[in-house]
Amino acid sequence: MNSADFTPLLTWAERQQAQMVERTIELARINSGTFNAAGVDAVGERLLNWFATLDPQVERLELPPFERLGSQGQNEVHTLGHALRLRLRPEAPRQIFLGGHLDTVYASDDPFQQVNWLDPSRLHGPGVTDMKGGLLVMLTALMALEQHPSAEGLGWEVLLNPDEEIGSPCSAPLIADAARRCQLGLLYEPALPDGSYAGQRKGSGNFSVLVKGRSAHAGRNLQEGRNAVRALADFISALDDLNGQRPGVTVNPAFIHGGGPLNQVPDSAMARFNIRIEAPEDERWCQQQLARLGAGINGRDGLSLQLQGDFGRKPKLLSSANLELFDLLRECAQALGLPMQLMPTGGCCDGNNLAAAGIPNIDTLGAEGGAIHSASEFLLVESLSRRAALSTRLLLELASGRLDQRFWPAA
Ligand SMILES: [Zn+2]
């Protein structure tokens, strides 16, 4: 296949700029904080409308509710929006996975809900970069691919999940399931702040801890009480002290709640924390430390500590197949005159999940911008067409058999 054949489609993708910006704004104006199921579904329905021109098979998949330890020690249950699975040509010899998330980190009561222009090149708004702009990049590239005859040989499966921002706890089985049908993955998370692509990624675990003690009157019989706040504070201090003890492992105690009236010894306190790991074997070390710290509290008279959670995302290491995929991306970027640099990151995404399922992937094909996960999030709007052209080229190369030797020897 002569790459010159691609030029009209790359140009076509670039010309979708105005529509991509318009649609990004439309999506960003709909709040889709992870626990706003209706908002997440509304974003999903807009996308389904736009994807409909490609006529894929569509499934709206219900996910189990997300459950975690609530601040009062109760079981907190959150309904999630639907996951959407779109497939085209499931019988084609080459099958690829494209992933994106519908949710954002901004809850429906977050003050950051507005979209506005900082200047003609930067759009400020919730989720514009992470990852509503990225979803448009994906859609546009697929629309370009479908105009080329070589698309016939490439089947694709898009999964739009509603819970990525909380670690994809409920959609993880859908990603693992797709990994059985697809041989490589493209994910539309934002580029790193300098425009680089994420290479190796750390693994991540989310945990909750609940300490129960015994209440007593602060004045009459304090010594009969067992102070849960104090015990939890000790646990958290020891937990934070794990920072620096093992290279690549970091711990972030992030949420704490406990106690009540000032004249009562508190009998309950809870906290949530996140751990990042670099190597697969770090997980065992962390579990041992958690067990040790937990036992320290459980060994105290009248106090008990209960720990929940696990490492939902394993470290993403780059296999030789993954490096080969990056080589093709580099070539596509160079052909378009774009820089292409790989950087390791402590952040996680569904690329971790895919890699854990044995599927090489590139997970930062989405938009460029900055300050994601903050009220200053902005999108570099010109990156939309640039990135759409890049993905278009990558898809066309894959459809033309460029990586057949590695991924589809029988195609
Ligand atoms: Zn994201």
Give the whole-angstrom CA distance, residue 161 versus residue 190: 16
**Cα(295) to centroid(ligand 1), Å:** 36
Q: Residue 390's beta-bridge partner residues?
A: none
Per-residue CA distances from 338 to 141, 170, 247, 260, 329 (Å) = 17, 36, 34, 57, 10
Question: Quick one: which of 301, 243, 238 has its CA closest to 271?
Answer: 238
Residues 182 and 219 occupy one common structural domain: no
Q: What is the pLDDT of residues 63-113, one digit of tens each?
A: 999 999 998 889 999 999 999 999 999 999 999 999 999 999 999 999 999
**Cα(164) to centroid(ligand 1), Å:** 7
Q: What is the pLDDT of residues 162-200, one digit of tens each?
A: 999 999 999 999 999 999 999 999 999 999 888 899 999
pLDDT of the residue at 3: 59
Residues 115 and 243 occupy one common structural domain: no
Q: Where is the domain boundary, 313, 343, 376?
A: 313
Rounded percentage of the chain residues whose pLDDT exceeds 70: 99
pLDDT of the residue at 4: 61
Residues 135 and 145 occupy one common structural domain: yes
In which band, very low, low, confident or very high, does the pLDDT at 2 lie, cut at 50, 70 and 90? low
Residue type at 350 in one-letter notation: D
Domain of residue 212, CATH code:
3.30.70.360
Residue type at 258 in one-letter notation: G
**Cα(130) to centroid(ligand 1), Å:** 4
DSSP code for 164? G
pTM for the complete prediction?
Answer: 0.93
pLDDT of the residue at 5: 86
**Cα(17) to centroid(ligand 1), Å:** 21
Count of CA atoms in the C-beta half-sphere (13 A) of 355: 28
Per-residue CA distances from 174 to 179, 253, 356 (Å) = 9, 29, 13
Residues 161 and 231 occupy one common structural domain: no
Residues 362 and 384 occupy one common structural domain: yes
Q: What is the pLDDT of residues 281-317, one digit of tens each?
A: 999 999 999 999 999 999 999 999 999 999 999 999 9
Maximum CA pair distance of the chain?
Answer: 87
Residue type at 354 in one-letter notation: L
The encoded tokens of residue 321 equal 């197949």
**Cα(317) to centroid(ligand 1), Å:** 19
**Cα(204) to centroid(ligand 1), Å:** 15
Residues 129 and 251 occupy one common structural domain: no
The answer on pLDDT for 56 being more than 90 is yes
Residues 23 and 132 occupy one common structural domain: yes
Give the H/E segment covering residue 328.
helix 320-335
The residue ranges of DSSP E strands in 63-169, in sequence order, are: 66-69, 75-78, 83-88, 94-101, 116-119, 122-124, 154-161
Number of domains comprising the chain = 2
Residues 307 and 342 occupy one common structural domain: no
Residues 193 and 79 occupy one common structural domain: yes
Average pLDDT over residues 43-48: 98
pLDDT of the residue at 195: 86
Q: What is the pLDDT of residues 262-286, one digit of tens each?
A: 999 999 999 999 999 999 999 999 9
The encoded tokens of residue 68 equal 């975690």
Is 24 exposed, middle or buried (CB count within 10 Å of its CB: 0-12, 13-18, 19+)? buried
pLDDT of the residue at 44: 98
Number of other CB atoms surrounding residue 149 within 10 Å: 10
Residues 279 and 353 occupy one common structural domain: no
Q: Where is the domain boundary, 313, 330, 357?
A: 313
Domain of residue 153, CATH code:
3.40.630.10
Q: Is 390 helix (H, G, I), strand (E, B) or coil?
A: helix
Q: Tell me whether the omega of the peptide bond preceding residue 143 falls within 30 degrees of 0, making it cis.
A: no
- Is 326 in contact with 236 (CB distance < 8 Å)? no
**Cα(308) to centroid(ligand 1), Å:** 25
- Is 331 in contact with 396 (CB distance < 8 Å)? no
The residue ranges of DSSP E strands in 230-279, in sequence order, are: 250-258, 268-277
Question: Quick one: which of 273, 289, 282 has its CA closest to 248?
Answer: 282
Question: What residues make up the domain containing 127?
Answer: 3-202+316-407
Number of other CB atoms surrounding residue 18 within 10 Å: 11
pLDDT of the residue at 405: 95
Rounded percentage of the chain residues whose pLDDT exceeds 90: 97
Residues 393 and 291 occupy one common structural domain: no
Q: Where is the domain boundary, 281, 313, 345?
A: 313
**Cα(134) to centroid(ligand 1), Å:** 9
**Cα(354) to centroid(ligand 1), Å:** 15
Q: What is the mean pLDDT of the chain?
A: 96
Give the whole-angstrom CA distance, residue 216 versus residue 78: 34
What is the torsion angle, in degrees rounded to the nearest 10, for the CA atoms of residue 384, residue 387, residue 388 and residue 392?
Answer: 180
Residues 44 and 155 occupy one common structural domain: yes
pLDDT of the residue at 193: 80
**Cα(298) to centroid(ligand 1), Å:** 38
The residue ranges of DSSP E strands in 202-249, in sequence order, are: 203-212
